[in-house]
Amino acid sequence: MNPVRQIFNKVINRKFRSTQVAEIHQLTPHLKRFVLSGDDLHDFPTDQDGAHVKIIFLADGLPVTPNNQQNAIKRSYTIREFDANQKRLTLDFVVNRHQGPATQWAQQAKVGDQLTIAGPGTRKLTNFEAPSYLLIGDITAVNAVNGYAKFISSEASITAIVTVPTADDVIEMDGAQQVHWHIEDQSTLSLEEFTRTLASNLSKDSQVFMGLEASQLRTIKGMLLRELDFSRLNMHATGYWKQGMDADKFGADKKKNPL
């Protein structure tokens, strides 16, 4: 069987849903928000903020159907929120930073366009009852940080760090209320140095989530484990992308060289 078809069938087994673009908002220079709607969302599970869905489309941006699966492309996007009453799912796309079929789709998409999704997938972080958390994400993982924070006990201590390209990319967070923003074109500190400063006094048993570019993730994960003695058992890390590598190659690379 064609490898693309195998991947597609695996995704479809989760749940194949047809949606349409109901709203588009240019949030920041590098973030574009899409609100999806459709009857296929009638049984989409609630309380999945921070989890991901797969968007599935063809290279020309057309929606996927059982009759045109051969060249399907899939990409993961984090759920910002889901309104079950209105059957509306909100996702944010990074634009004007990387090139690729999903970015191209997001730049050209219009209200009314069709988009096929599958999911949601499982969360990386599942323990929301710990006393202390360190959540670290870049602009691709900002909604994971925001979503996870919504489910953490109100009695817990949360240190949330988000790195974004510019000050104009800072967005409203309705989950993580107190966020330490690392502004890439302004900060004199690297993200590793910025994180070290904020994490040094945290409990070594803190639950840690990291969603970053692969090389950044390796560096910061190593620093937390070797320098600051955080517990490996409480660390939940995922590389959302890798500089200089497209998503398909990166997915294969992660299987050979886990982060």
- In a shared domain, residues 161 and 89: no
Query: Which tens digit of pLDDT belongs to each residue from 220-236?
Result: 999 999 999 999 999 99
139 shares a domain with 241: yes
pLDDT per residue as tens digits for the range 37-59 = 999 999 999 999 999 999 998 77
Is 70 exceeded by the pLDDT of residue 69?
no
Inside any domain, residue 126: no
Domain boundary among 69, 94, 118: 118
Q: Is residue 69 within 8 Å of residue 23, measured between CB atoms?
A: no
CA 122/CA 144 separation, integer angstroms: 12
CA-wise closest residue to 34 among 13, 6, 57: 57
Longest dimension (CA), the chain: 56
Q: How confident is the model at residue 68 (pLDDT cuts 50, 70, 90)?
A: low
Inside any domain, residue 209:
yes
pLDDT above 80 (res 207): yes
For residues 12 and 103, membership in a common domain is answered with: yes
pLDDT of residue 152: 96
Supply the angle between the helices 191-199 and 214-222 in degrees, to the nearest 10.
30
Concatenated DSSP letters of 214-229: HHHHHHHHHIIIIIS-
Instruction: Work out the percent of the chain whose per-residue pLDDT is above 90.
Output: 71
Structural domain contains residue 97: yes
Query: Percent helix, strand, coil in the chain (nearest 5)?
Result: 30, 35, 40
- The verdict on 68 and 138 lying in the same domain is no
- Over residues 72-109, the pLDDT tens digits come to 888 999 999 999 999 999 999 999 877 788 888 999 99
Give the domain-ending residue among 61, 88, 118. Answer: 118
In a domain, 123, yes or no: no
In a domain, 127, yes or no: no
Question: What local confidence, expressed as pLDDT, does residue 67 receive?
Answer: 64
Look at residue 134 and tell me whether its pLDDT is greater than 60: yes
| pLDDT value of position 12 | 41
pLDDT attached to residue 72: 83
Q: Are residues 236 and 176 in the same domain?
A: yes
Sheet holding 132-138, edge to edge: 179-183, 157-164, 132-138, 207-213, 235-241
Q: 247 with 150, same domain?
A: yes
Task: Report which of 163, 17, 13, 10 is spatially closest to residue 94, judged by C-alpha positions.
Answer: 163
Residue 175 covered by a domain? yes
105 and 141 part of one domain: no
148 and 198 belong to one structural domain? yes
Residues 14, 65: Cα–Cα separation, whole Å = 15
Expressed as residue numbers, the domain containing 96 is 3-118
Same domain, 218 and 180: yes
Mean of per-residue pLDDT scores for the chain: 87
Domain total in the chain: 2
Name the band, by pLDDT with cuts 50, 70 and 90, for residue 11.
Answer: very low
β-strand pairing of 73-83 with 31-37: unpaired
pLDDT for the residue numbered 227: 97
CATH number for the domain that contains residue 74: 2.40.30.10
Q: How many Cα atoms within 13 Å fall on the side-chain side of residue 183?
A: 9
Last residue of a domain, one of 118, 143, 174: 118
Task: Note whether 114 and 151 are same-domain residues.
Answer: no
153 and 62 inside one domain: no
**CA–CA gap between residue 187 and residue 205 (Å, rounded):** 29
Of 247, 238, 180, the residue nearest 214 (C-alpha):
238
Position 237 in a domain: yes
For residue 237, pLDDT over 90 is answered with yes
Q: Give the model's pLDDT for residue 3.
A: 41
What's the CATH code of the domain at 231? 3.40.50.80
Q: Are residues 159 and 109 in the same domain?
A: no
* Whole-number pLDDT of residue 73: 85
Entry pTM: 0.86
Q: Any residues with CB less than 8 A from the CB of 8 and at least 6 apart, and which?
A: 56, 64, 69, 72, 74
In this prediction, residue 162 has a pLDDT band, given cuts at 50, 70 and 90, of very high
In a domain, 125, yes or no: no
Q: What is the pLDDT of residue 2?
A: 42
For residue 100, the model assigns a pLDDT of 83
